[in-house]
Amino acid sequence: MLHATKPHRQIVQAGLGTTPDRGILQSVWFGIPGNCDLSCPYCFCSTTEIDNDVDNIAWGRPASGGVTHYQYEPYERLIFKPLAEQVRAWNAASPEQRIAAFGCPPENAQTDEVVRGKVAIPGAGEPFHPRNRELVLSLIRSANACGLHMTVFTTGHWIDAALAAELLPMDVVLLVKRNSGKKEVQNALVGRPADHPFFEQREAALQLLMDIGFNKPFGKPGTSEYQETRLGVVTSIMRENIVELESLLCFARKNNIIFDCDTILERGRGGVCRQRLTDKMTECGFKILQRLDKKKFGREWDISSTYVGTACDRHRHHLYVDKRGFIYPCVGCMEDKEHNIDPIVLGNIKDGPHALIAAWKSPIMAKVIRPWRYEGPCKDCSKPEKGICFSCLGRFRDSLVTVTRDSTEPITTIGCWNHTQRHRKQPPK
């Protein structure tokens, strides 16, 4: 079973909340073509059934001509290899070299731990939709061959026995959408009628994955490959499921399944979704889960403002690449036309294999986001210095302030319901 970990962090996503600043890029989320047969009201990328956008990274024609098909090679060449190479060089370096060449903070340079690069497909488009399935299988194989761990967010309902068996030996964690254990609520939360088969298909897929052992430990204990489980359930806290949160958490804990629960990201359809909660309701939802987890499962964690059970620390190890190749500090830094929010674009991987690491070294990442130079309520909050919450670039950044890749001014924040005033040192009298 998953252990109650100190210091108060639950496993939610690979490395989330537990990755130290090593100076290097250690995790990347990337987009795939947006094909998806569902229509979730909170979808941050506003996908459609079929995505024929020729700007997709994966779009390509075979040299011999003929039918256009998706290719995994651009991802391998432009994301996996540059990421893996940087991690490999850091692992091979001495502590002094890590500080001098990679900008690693001295306190994190001396370690016997082998750093593992991590990539994830965040479900901006369903990875196992028939049009994406072969591409995604090739992407997992390629990432693993580069020495990278893979996480895939999925609706689950396209997973059949053949696909599950193919995935089982791979180094992959599957995070399956489970917003509700009630058919009519679940189907509404994927934009489908009450009698749609999604609910049964998803429940059957989860059962199948458990039957074949996805929720069992994987790899050799003590190695960087080891995972206590490779299966998770994912949801946001919403109006329709707030009364069900306890049973959703219990389902996960009892089955050795990761519980990945956050708040709605106000991007894409999420920005106008009526499922968004008031601050009071969000706080109440977090507190209910915190109490339950401690009482019933002996798991203690502090309340951050985005994820249940952990804190987002992606500012110090992460980049996001959208399906067209544009690079951002994280998924919350994409453009939102609906609310006139400008994106923070750091480059485009199509510019070549150097582009990803160049984005990581851009002034805004190196001088502001990674060293956490923030202003406003989040700076005055006690949570960051205690490691409980590091604000959120998507939710609590002041979106009226334009930020570019060359900005060196601190990030302006708006704070949140979880703010606790930091005690200032009194000047000597």
- Rule CB under 6 A: choose which of 384, 386, 407, 410 binds ligand SF4: 384
The string of DSSP codes covering 338-349 is GGTBPP---EEG
Q: How far is the CB of 367 from ligand SF4 (least distance, A)?
A: 18
CA distances from 386 to 18, 270, 302, 374, 420 (A): 14, 30, 10, 15, 11
Distance CA 206, CA 211 (A): 9
Contact by Cβ (8 Å): 214, 174: yes
Q: By CB under 6 A, is residue 309 in contact with ligand SF4?
A: no
Binding piece for ligand SF4, criterion CB under 6 A, among 67-75, 272-280, 398-406, 412-420:
412-420
Asked if 179 interacts with ligand SF4 (CB under 6 A), we say no
Is residue 155 within the footprint of ligand SF4 (CB under 6 A)?
yes
**Beta carbon of residue 124, minimum distance to ligand SF4 (angstroms, whole number):** 6
Contacts of 127 by beta carbon, 8 Å cutoff, 6+ apart: 32, 121, 133, 136, 152, 153, 154
Q: Which of residues 180-209 bind ligand SF4 (CB under 6 A)?
A: 190
**Residue where the block lists tokens 């967010």:** 153
Interatomic CA distance for residues 217 and 230, integer angstroms: 7
Cβ-based nearer residue to ligand SF4, 40 or 137: 40
Cα 343-152-54 angle, rounded to 5 deg: 55
Q: Is residue 331 involved in binding ligand SF4 (CB under 6 A)?
A: yes
Residue whose pair of structure tokens reads 């994301």 in the numeric block = 79
In the bound state with ligand SF4, the residue whose beta carbon lies nearer, of 159 and 378, is 378
Contact call for residue 71 and ligand SF4 (CB under 6 A): no
Residue from 206, 378, 403, 411 in contact with ligand SF4 (CB under 6 A): 378
Amino acid at 290: Q
With respect to ligand SF4, which residue has the nearer C-beta, 24 or 378? 378
Q: Report which of 400, 395, 428, 397 is spatially closest to residue 410, judged by C-alpha positions.
A: 397
Among 57, 167, 308, 330, binds ligand SF4 (CB under 6 A): 330
Q: How far is the CB of 238 from ligand SF4 (least distance, A)?
A: 12
Give least dist CB 177 to ligand SF4, A. 6
Assess 47 for contact with ligand SF4 (CB under 6 A). Answer: yes
Pick from 352, 314, 350, 351: nearest CA to 333: 314
CB 337 within 8 A of CB 46: no
Residue 394 contacts ligand SF4 per CB under 6 A: yes
Of the two residues 109 and 344, which places its CB atom closer to ligand SF4 in the complex? 344
Give the interface with ligand SF4 as residue ranges (CB under 6 A): 36, 38-40, 43, 47, 123-126, 155, 190, 265, 305-306, 312, 314, 330-332, 377-378, 381, 383-384, 389, 391-396, 413, 415-416, 418-419
